[in-house]
């Protein structure tokens, strides 16, 4: 209806005496209760808004402030610098260098120019597809690459790609690389120790990280530094017992020996007789801790600590020392070893060559299995077992070095006669190389034994007596005869120094049977004999070719290592002998 029509209708109503309030134009067609309902609903809505406003501004203030702060305020971790590892003279073996972690907010990076993303992939040493796969993540945060060198990080920053950020972290660097890796170990990308002393001393080295609060914008940029919550505390430096000069000598000598004899592996360890410090520990094969991209299990194995083997004849001195200490024999007691074979406990035991009637000194010098067996069977099995356990065989090492094994010595109650005989010359018992080296301390230290240490020692430890000083002195004389003409380790001689030790050659056990072609040759010795300073143990695993006995494959390693170590530490010569004397028959009886 038009406005003119309304006006006319009003005029008509007025002309007929109808009141304006009762005009048909103003007639209400809706029920009154509906308008009242609308008014009530509006009233309730306003009350609800008032209550909500009161709740938000009065009761929930702290919660809302916390939620708001979580959108723009962040707590950043401030990494602590991992402590350095040095050798006994302060030479750095492991240190931390600052690097950057490159991370991204995927949804912010998607708008970046393709050309810049290609450059980013190239700098990160990734393919375009690899980078895109990471950026396609539905997470709000993703690492692109960890431990990026500083110069690469600077180039990435210059690309100025929204959503690409960097975070400070540290990368471990090992200056001596593969030479000391089996002692020092390495850390993972999170700077956590994974092997050797890096793992053993994790709590000491890692330090305590700090933190600070900052305000970030939508793109993750820091726009304001609020406060420092906790200052980082750097890790403590660790001083090892290792002597870098001796360590390098040991490493090169064992490497050369493995290559020379076409062996599977080799290991060497050098101990300080006076302090029990481990001056060198070397393995081959090894690996470079600065580049572990091609690391294998064979390279990772710390054979000095974790591999056990039957020591063979290098165990004979302990049987003889026990008999001497119990006064069951003297160095000149005679034994008939026959023509090189003897029936003991229903089994035939052989010597490499007939020795017939020889004294105890000859048994050690010639390395007679038969003579040692007869000495062993003259004693209770329990006495031998106690001797083995006192020097650490079959006992879990407590040297603070991860992975160190206990070896195996069966309970003496289960020994049969032939088993007691076999154990006397190193069969049926398993030890690690470092256990064997430490056990020889009873001969070098006048009968007592001390704990080993991989950290520098400031005070000489107290020893635990095992045999008498007299017995130890008698054993040193016999061990020195092993390296002299007529002995089984003439190749272990050191010009200018008196040395002594014992060879060991053991058949490897494969599938429960002794192999006829695979051996482990070892030599454990000390120098100089006038006042022993070092105990040196060397082991060659599976030497190839006809030469495989300990005196021929491990003896020369001892000789070269001892000669250089003695000179490196300025130990005065104690012998007029300046040339090694090796008779034509030197290879005979070198077990």
Q: What is the pLDDT of residues 104-144, one digit of tens each?
A: 878 777 778 888 888 888 998 888 888 888 888 777 778 88
pLDDT at 52: 78
C-alpha span between 415 and 428 (Å, rounded): 10
Q: Which residues 6+ apart lie within 8 Å of 269 measured at CB? A: 250, 278, 280, 281, 282, 304, 433, 434, 437, 536, 537
C-alpha span between 183 and 456 (Å, rounded): 13
Q: How confident is the model at residue 588 (pLDDT cuts 50, 70, 90)?
A: very low
- Least confidently predicted of 257-266, 371-380, 391-400, 510-519: 510-519
| Mean pLDDT score, 34-48 | 85
| Residue 11 clears pLDDT 90, i.e. is over it | no
pLDDT at 147: 86
| Mean pLDDT score, 374-378 | 96
The 8-class DSSP code of residue 490 comes to G
C-alpha span between 180 and 287 (Å, rounded): 10
pLDDT at 107: 77
The 8-class DSSP code of residue 24 comes to G
pLDDT at 453: 96
Of the candidates 242, 237, 235, 236, the one whose C-alpha atom is nearest the C-alpha of residue 184 is 242
Of the candidates 329, 333, 332, 353, the one whose C-alpha atom is nearest the C-alpha of residue 341 is 353
pLDDT at 294: 87
| Residue 464 clears pLDDT 90, i.e. is over it | yes
| Mean pLDDT score, 530-535 | 96
- Least confidently predicted of 85-94, 395-404, 431-440: 395-404
| Residue 519 clears pLDDT 80, i.e. is over it | yes
Would you say 129 and 167 are in contact if contact means Cβ atoms under 8 Å apart?
A: no
Q: What is the dihedral of CA 293, 298, 304, 306, to 10 degrees?
A: 100
pLDDT at 105: 79
pLDDT at 587: 43
pLDDT at 134: 85
Q: Write down the domain spans for the chain.
A: 75-239, 244-289+301-568
| Residue 60 clears pLDDT 80, i.e. is over it | no
Q: Which two tokens stand for residue 146?
A: 């960890």
- Residue 445: C-alpha distances to residues 35, 314, 465, 474 (Å): 109, 18, 10, 12
Q: Is 261 exposed, middle or buried (0-12, 13-18, 19+ CB in 10 A)?
A: buried
Q: How confident is the model at residue 39 (pLDDT cuts 50, 70, 90)?
A: confident
Q: Which two tokens stand for residue 583?
A: 């008779």
Of the candidates 554, 546, 545, 488, the one whose C-alpha atom is nearest the C-alpha of residue 520 is 554
| Residue 405 clears pLDDT 80, i.e. is over it | yes
Q: How confident is the model at residue 535 (pLDDT cuts 50, 70, 90)?
A: very high
Q: Using alpha carbons only, give the angle 477, 575, 460 rounded to the nearest 5 degrees.
A: 65
C-alpha span between 278 and 272 (Å, rounded): 6
Percent of the chain residues topping a pLDDT of 90: 59
C-alpha span between 505 and 486 (Å, rounded): 18
- Residue 377: C-alpha distances to residues 86, 370, 393, 394 (Å): 49, 11, 20, 21
| Residue 590 clears pLDDT 60, i.e. is over it | no
| Mean pLDDT score, 218-243 | 74
pLDDT at 579: 66
pLDDT at 130: 86
- Three-state SS at 291: coil
List alpha helices for 1-104, DSSP H.
3-15, 32-54, 61-72
Q: What is the pLDDT of residues 153-179, one digit of tens each?
A: 888 888 888 888 888 888 899 999 999
Q: How confident is the model at residue 228 (pLDDT cuts 50, 70, 90)?
A: low
Cis upstream peptide for 285 (omega within 30°): yes
Please tell me which residue, 131 or 1, carries the higher pLDDT value: 131
Would you say 277 and 456 are in contact if contact means Cβ atoms under 8 Å apart?
A: yes
Please tell me which residue, 518 or 62, carries the higher pLDDT value: 518
Percent of the chain residues topping a pLDDT of 70: 85
Would you say 76 and 212 are in contact if contact means Cβ atoms under 8 Å apart?
A: yes
How are the residues of the chain apportioned to helix, strand and coil, as percentages rounded to the nearest 5?
Answer: 40, 25, 40
| Residue 248 clears pLDDT 70, i.e. is over it | yes
* 3-state per-residue secondary structure call for 137-201: CCCCCEEEEEEECHHHHHHHHHHCCCCEEEEEEEEEECCCHHHCHHHHCCECCCCCECCHHHHHC
pLDDT at 443: 98
| Mean pLDDT score, 17-42 | 70
| Residue 83 clears pLDDT 80, i.e. is over it | yes
pLDDT at 135: 84
184 φ, ψ (degrees, to nearest 5): -80, -45
313, 373, 430, 453: the catalytic one is 313
| Residue 469 clears pLDDT 50, i.e. is over it | yes
| Mean pLDDT score, 187-191 | 89
pLDDT at 418: 95
| Mean pLDDT score, 390-395 | 96
Q: How confident is the model at residue 589 (pLDDT cuts 50, 70, 90)?
A: very low
User: Which CATH class for the 244-289+301-568 domain?
Assistant: alpha beta
The 8-class DSSP code of residue 25 comes to G
**Catalytic annotation present for 517:** no
Tell me the average pLDDT of the chain. Answer: 87
| Residue 182 clears pLDDT 60, i.e. is over it | yes
Q: Which fold has domain 75-239?
A: Penicillin-binding protein 2a (Domain 2) (3.90.1310)
């Amino acid at each position: 209806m038009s406005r003119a029509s309304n006006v006319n209708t009003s005029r008509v109503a007025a002309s007929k005496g109808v009141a304006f309030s009762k005009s048909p134009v103003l007639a209400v067609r809706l029920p009154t209760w509906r308008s009242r309902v609308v008014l009530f609903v509006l009233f309730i809505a306003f009350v609800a808004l008032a209550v909500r406003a009161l709740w938000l501004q009065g009761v929930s203030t702290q919660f809302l402030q916390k939620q708001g702060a979580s959108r723009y305020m962040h707590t950043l971790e401030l990494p602590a610098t991992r402590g350095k590892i040095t050798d006994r003279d302060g030479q750095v073996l492991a240190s931390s260098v600052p690097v950057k972690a490159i991370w991204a907010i995927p949804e912010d990076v998607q708008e970046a120019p393709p050309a810049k993303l290609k450059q980013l992939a190239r700098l990160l040493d990734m393919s375009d597809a690899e980078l895109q796969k990471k950026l396609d993540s539905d997470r709000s945060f993703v690492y692109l690459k960890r431990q990026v060198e500083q110069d690469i990080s600077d180039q990435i920053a210059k690309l100025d790609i929204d959503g690409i950020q960097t975070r400070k972290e540290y990368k471990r660097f090992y200056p001596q690389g593969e030479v000391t890796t089996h002692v020092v170990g390495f850390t993972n990308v999170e700077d956590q120790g994974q092997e050797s002393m890096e793992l053993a001393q994790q709590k000491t080295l890692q330090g305590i990280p700090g933190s600070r609060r900052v305000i970030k914008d939508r793109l993750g940029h820091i726009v304001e530094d609020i406060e420092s919550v906790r200052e980082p505390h750097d890790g403590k430096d660790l001083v090892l017992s290792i002597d870098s000069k001796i360590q390098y000598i040991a490493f090169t000598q064992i490497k050369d020996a493995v290559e020379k004899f076409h062996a599977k592996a080799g290991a060497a360890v050098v101990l300080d007789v006076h302090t029990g410090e481990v001056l060198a520990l070397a393995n081959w094969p090894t690996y470079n801790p600065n580049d572990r991209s091609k690391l294998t299990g064979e390279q990772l194995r710390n054979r000095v600590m974790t591999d056990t083997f039957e020591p063979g004849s290098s165990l004979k001195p302990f049987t003889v020392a026990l008999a001497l200490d119990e006064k069951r024999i003297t160095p000149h007691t005679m034994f008939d070893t026959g023509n090189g074979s003897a029936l003991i406990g229903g089994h035939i035991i052989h010597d490499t060559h007939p020795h017939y009637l020889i004294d105890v000194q000859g048994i050690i010098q010639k390395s007679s299995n038969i003579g040692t067996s007869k000495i062993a069977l003259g004693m209770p099995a329990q006495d031998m077992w106690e001797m083995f356990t006192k020097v650490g065989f079959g006992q879990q090492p407590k040297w603070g070095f991860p992975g160190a094994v206990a070896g195996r010595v069966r309970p003496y109650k289960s020994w049969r006669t032939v088993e007691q005989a076999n154990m006397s010359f190193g069969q049926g018992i398993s030890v690690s190389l470092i256990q064997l080296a430490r056990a020889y301390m009873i001969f070098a230290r006048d009968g007592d034994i001390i704990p080993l240490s991989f950290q520098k020692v400031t005070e000489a430890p107290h020893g635990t007596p095992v045999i008498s000083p007299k017995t130890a002195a008698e054993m040193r004389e016999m061990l020195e005869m092993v390296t002299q003409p007529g002995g089984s380790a003439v190749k272990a001689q050191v010009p200018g120094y008196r040395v002594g030790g014992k060879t060991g050659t053991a058949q490897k056990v494969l599938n429960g049977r002794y192999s006829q072609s695979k051996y482990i040759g070892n030599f454990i010795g000390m120098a100089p004999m006038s006042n022993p300073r070092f105990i040196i143990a060397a082991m060659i695993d599976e030497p190839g070719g006809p030469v495989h006995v300990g005196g021929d494959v491990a003896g020369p390693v001892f000789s070269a290592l001892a000669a250089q170590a003695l000179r490196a530490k300025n130990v005065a010569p104690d012998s007029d002998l300046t040339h090694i004397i090796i008779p034509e028959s030197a290879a005979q009886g070198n077990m």
